[in-house]
Structure 1
Amino acid sequence: MTDGLQIDLENWMSQLPESIKNTPFIYLAIPGSHDSMTFNINRDSTLAPDAPSIVRRLWPLFKGTIIRWSKTQQINVHQQLFSGIRFFDLRFATKSDTNKIFFTHGLYAGEVEDGFNEIKSFLDSHPDEVIILDCQHFYEFKLEDHRRLFSILVNTFGLRICPPQHNLEAITLNSLSRQRQQIIIVYRNEVVVSSGRFWRNGQMPTPWPRQTNTKGLLDWMASAHRSPSAGFVLQAVLTPTTAFVILKWRSNIRDSCAKPVVNKVLPWIDDLLPGPPPLAPFSSGALRVNVVIADFVDFNQNIFPKSIIALNYKLLSSDQ
């Protein structure tokens, strides 16, 4: 799909044709990163609250292996944004010796304010680009921790935040640009979304495939369906089990999970369409692309974000 199509990944939203900018945002094809903030997990990282019990037992002897299998992205926030990524999948954890909040994936990654400030800086210089922050999991969180994270998000992005609407189909890139809104925050905790500032879980579902091989993932995708009135996150990821990691303990997620997805799953996604799904929930071809997330989004010179962004140009065909 990317053959012959020149895509400026840094500015791809602002350079879409006007008709696509007037398409409902929930019907656009948007590339995202899975466990987006794991890029700075390193030898100095420590175990986080979401680390499984078996990881805690093996940590002293297999630290290097655990680090390799906890890291799902190689490039930082700035690089992801300039590579076209517009959706960030985020996990959060508190830490007992500080009141700061951290990104996590089994191991502590960076502080949330550092990551959010990087995103804000990008938005400052790219006024027509829009980013989705998916606040997905919260570990060792109390009510005051949710309130603190809420304050950080609101203080960082302020009037740029696009609040949820009853009719999500009314939100387009052009409508967002007119209102100078550049951030959609999906907060998957009912206590915080009651504020009315952030989107609810059901407004952008993100079902988990839980597959360890590409055949299982493709079968799951082929049977997936979405509502025509909500966004949808397609997780193009493999989920390694403990047994899977033990069998491939010398490997890592990039080689054993991301590479097979690029080689065998991405070509299938290339045949999908953006746009509204059919009204009948189980009609043929019901799955239409919105957000698609992957591990190691820089693989093969950014082939993943290029392929997802290119799907939007199918909307120009009169017969779609």
Structure 2
Amino acid sequence: MCRLDVSASSSAPRCSSVGSGDTRHDTMTYCLDQHSAVLPSQPRILTALDHIIPCVIRPCIKKWATTQELSISSQLDSGIRFLDLRIAHKKEDSSWVFYFAHGIYSLLTVKEALTDVAHWLEHHTNEVVIISLSAFNDVSPVQHYNLIDFLIQLFGKKLCPKSETPSLNACWTHGYQVILSYADPSGAKHEELWPAWDYWWANESDPNLVISYLEHNKETGRPAGFFMAGINLTEDTRYVLSHLTQSMKSMTLQSYNMLMDWVKKQHPGSRKTSVNIICADFVGILRNEFCEIVIGLNIDPKR
């Protein structure tokens, strides 16, 4: 049983593009590149329109794909200890540079962002960060090999092996600071890399339906290991077309109080209805309320 109890997360599964939902998520949407092409994996209508009217399509995708505003270091400073990352390689790029992606590509590279995380950990030696590389776009088997080698070289002995029961005390004793999930079969043979974890994602724009979905899953019973409960909202084509002046942020803010009220009622631990990691969009807003609530749940788990 994983015993890190409730962690705060900066990400949640989003729609990768306008009207196209998937089960992937991304911490790095604060630095999406509005001038980059739409991902080839996006619906054909979007990739076609991107060739015709990129000045319209790309800003629209960015507006609805942006789910964070704080940099990755600032998210960690705010109390975030779970990072969801979606990795991509630009198909026409002959170099082996990896980016993050959410409908469009990020400005920052994987190397730049994760090196920032490694530096942050060097200055916060008692902190443990859980990182999920949850999706890969246009990454070949050979590129997976090189990416895994980079990760193991970067974090080294800070990586908690998947054979460990990672309580905080165990992590402190052994010097583990990173629990790293790699959601691709190429990571299975590496003891340092954990498999993919369950993510409770409602795929709804109505906060009432999101909460109902999460409560239903809680009654069914929590998984044995790490799992994430997403309080994020998800737009669809109909919602976007009927809210043309809005964005993912405005959509989230409208329901923020209701979602935070649900978070306040949660409990860490191994009980059937306990939660493990809670994921949210736009962490750090409203005086960092989300992180403060989750930290409070860990300090006083009976409240």
1: CA distance, partners of 2:112 / 2:267? 35
Task: Give the aligned residue type for 1:38.
Answer: T
Number of the residue aligned with 2:150: 152
Task: Give the aligned residue type for 2:161.
Answer: P
Q: Would you say how many aligned residue pairs link Structure 1 and Structure 2? A: 280
- Which of 86, 97, 100 is residue 97 of structure 2 equivalent to? 100
1:1-320 alignment, distance < 5 Å = 25-34=2-11, 35-59=26-50, 60=53, 61-95=56-90, 96-97=92-93, 98-109=95-106, 110-165=108-163, 170-201=165-196, 204-225=197-218, 226-227=221-222, 229-256=224-251, 258-278=252-272, 286=273, 288-315=274-301, 317=302
2: CA distance, partners of 1:68 / 1:262? 18
User: Which structure 2 residue ranges, 5 or more long, are not aligned?
Assistant: 12-25
Task: Give the aligned residue type for 2:64.
Answer: W
Deviation at 1:52, TM superposition (A): 2.9
2: CA distance, partners of 1:215 / 1:250? 23
RMSD over aligned Cα atoms? 1.8
Residues 52, 106 of structure 1: 8 Å contact kept: no
- Spell out, residue by residue over 1:172-216, the C-alpha distance to the aligned partner (whole angstroms, 9 max, x if none): 111101111100001111221222221112xx3113221111011
Residues 27, 276 of structure 1: 8 Å contact kept: no
Per the normalisation by structure 2, the TM-score is 0.87
Residues 10, 27 of structure 2: 8 Å contact kept: yes
1: CA distance, partners of 2:232 / 2:132? 16
- Spell out, residue by residue over 1:41-97, the C-alpha distance to the aligned partner (whole angstroms, 9 max, x if none): 143333223433333244423332222112111111111011111111111111121
1: CA distance, partners of 2:99 / 2:209? 33
1: CA distance, partners of 2:104 / 2:97? 15
- Spell out, residue by residue over 1:247-294, the C-alpha distance to the aligned partner (whole angstroms, 9 max, x if none): 2122111111x214421112012111111123xxxxxxx2x1211111
Residues 49, 93 of structure 1: 8 Å contact kept: no
% same residue? 26
Deviation at 1:227, TM superposition (A): 3.8
Deviation at 1:27, TM superposition (A): 4.7
2: CA distance, partners of 1:301 / 1:240? 25
Residues 2, 224 of structure 2: 8 Å contact kept: no
1: CA distance, partners of 2:159 / 2:284? 27
Deviation at 1:158, TM superposition (A): 0.7
Task: Give the aligned residue type for 1:294.
Answer: A
User: Which structure 1 residue ranges, 5 or more long, are not aligned?
Assistant: 1-23, 279-285
Residues 34, 104 of structure 2: 8 Å contact kept: no
2: CA distance, partners of 1:112 / 1:290? 26
- Spell out, residue by residue over 1:205-234, the C-alpha distance to the aligned partner (whole angstroms, 9 max, x if none): 113221111011011011013445311101
Give the direction of change, closer, same or farther, for the CA distance of 1:155–1:49 in structure 2 (3 Å limit).
Answer: farther
**More strand by percentage:** 2
Task: Give the aligned residue type for 1:216.
Answer: L
- Spell out, residue by residue over 1:95-134, the C-alpha distance to the aligned partner (whole angstroms, 9 max, x if none): 1212111110011012100010110011000000010111
